[in-house]
Structure 1
Amino acid sequence: MEQLYVLFADDSAFMRIAYKRVLESHLGLRIVAMAGNGEEATK
């Protein structure tokens, strides 16, 4: 199966961590970066 790489943005640090755990453990995605908002994600 092909590995997917994800950049994840959410303004809540708690939700970023929670989503990262769920996405990596249940869906096999690899979170390569996280950002606090969309603007930060594009830098």
Structure 2
Amino acid sequence: MLDWVNRNVAVLFGDGAAALVVEASDREEGQRGESLGCLA
């Protein structure tokens, strides 16, 4: 059980998640695009 009153622990196990996908390419154009969003 998580004690949400204790911020020292609650911030470690908050409701956040992240992912990163990196793929190599033979093209020389550099970065093609990026996206940053929040799904709630």
TM-score when normalising by structure 1: 0.29
Pick 1 or 2: higher relative contact order, CA cutoff 8 A, min separation 6: 1
Q: Which structure has greater strand proportion?
A: 1
Larger CA Rg, structure 1 vs 2: 2
TM-score when normalising by structure 2: 0.30
Q: Which structure has greater helix proportion?
A: 1
